Amino acid sequence: MSKLVTIFGGSGFVGRYIARRMAQAGWRVRVAVRRPNEALHVKPYGAVGQVEPVFCNIRDDASVRAVMQGADAVVNCVGILVESGPNKFADIQAEGAGRVARIAAEMGVAKLVQLSAIGADAKSASLYQQTKAKGEALVQQHFPDAVILRPSVIFGQEDQFFNRFAGMARFSLFLPVVGPKTLFQPVYVEDVAAAASHALTDAVAPGIYELGGPDVASFKALMEMMLAEIRRKRVVLPVPFAVANIMGGTLDVVQAVTLGLFTNSILTRDQVRNLRRDNIVSEGARGLEDLGVVPTPMNTVLPSYLWVHRPGGQYKAIHESAARLRKD
């Protein structure tokens, strides 16, 4: 019988790509999510019955143990960018990651891959980065042979980075940017999935790997690149950290006083703290190449999905080509 991998958060942005790769490699894939009925899009990644969404609450031991029954390998992709309702950074990114690792060890799972993030630091001012670091520590404590992947900002068709700002540019003449000089090293989602797949199927040394693409650019430069790709002229407006902190704090208060009726997915104080630090691979860190993956440049991928934000959509390139022909 083929091997089985349980992927926590396997229907999300990164998890779905890992699920597809593992299915293509012949593995049975169990996609553990809170709402299986909203994860049916993963079923066609394999043959009938090969990829199955199942219910799991990462905050509950029994739930985690149930979806890990018979698994040869486990991947944890669960993480949040904003706290809302019962979903707190500490519960999901720290205790949740530790729970997965502890139960995986108890059940004799052979391999574990934990998806973390560049910037994970127990001493950080950001609660997001603190809990990512605590999650890593708990994973290594319970499952010393685990592979921990720390990607920079991830781009791809369903990303919430370039797509989010491109969407804003469609309706505003200004594009506000907090931390315009902050450096990023965007990594392609397929490369992250390939790294996870290699960690599960090949002889890979345990420990931390920092994943970044071949391009390093400031936040402002990335926005200018995105604007050029979607053929829109907008003013990239730098927002001082002091102003951003007030904005984020105000929106956080609104979320608190509305008792969760409003979720601050716009800008939080914690995100402002994150943006004060560069988000690039550390010097000397093990990376994609150590996992047998060649990093993909942004300019080979962005045109394949950002065209939807152009004024003429898929026809914009045709219009541009016709205009050049008329000039010739």
What is the number of alpha carbons within 13 Å of residue 157 lying toward its C-beta?
Answer: 6
Query: For position 315, what pLDDT does the model report?
Result: 59
219 found inside a domain: no
The 8 Å CB, 24+ separation contacts for 157-165 are: 157/189, 157/304, 157/305, 158/13, 158/189, 159/13, 159/189, 160/13, 160/81, 161/186, 162/222, 162/226, 162/302, 162/306, 163/305, 163/306, 163/309, 165/223, 165/226
Q: What is the mean pLDDT of residues 237-264?
A: 95
User: How do strand 217-218 and strand 183-184 relate by DSSP bridges?
Assistant: antiparallel
The pLDDT assigned to 215 comes to: 97
Q: What is the pLDDT of residues 279-315, one digit of tens each?
A: 999 999 999 999 999 999 999 999 999 999 999 876 5
Q: How many domains does the chain have?
A: 1
Q: Which one-letter amino acid corresponds to residue 12? A: G
The domain in which residue 43 lies consists of 4-154+186-213+279-295
Residue 327 pLDDT exceeds 80 = no
Mean pLDDT (the chain) is 95
Q: Which pLDDT value is given to residue 140?
A: 98
In a domain, 318, yes or no: no
Tokens of 71: 């698994």
Tens of pLDDT along 19-72? Answer: 999 999 999 999 999 999 999 999 999 999 999 999 999 999 999 999 999 999
Q: Structure pTM?
A: 0.94
- Can you give the CATH number for the domain in which 8 is found? 3.40.50.720
Angle value at C-alpha 75, between 90 and 281, nearest 5 degrees: 75
Whole-Å CA distances, 112 to 50, 200, 286: 20, 7, 18
Q: Is residue 162 assigned to a domain?
A: no
- Judge whether 64 lies within some domain: yes
pLDDT tens digits for range 149-194: 999 999 999 999 999 999 999 999 999 999 999 999 999 999 999 9
Domain assignment present for 313: no
Pair 245, 125: CB distance under 8 Å: no
The answer, yes or no, to whether residue 323 has pLDDT greater than 60, is: no
User: Is 70 exceeded by the pLDDT of residue 104?
Assistant: yes
Flag whether 245 is in a domain.
no
User: d(Cα 80, Cα 37) in Å, to the nearest integer?
Assistant: 20
Structural domain includes residue 159: no
pLDDT more than 90, % of the chain: 93
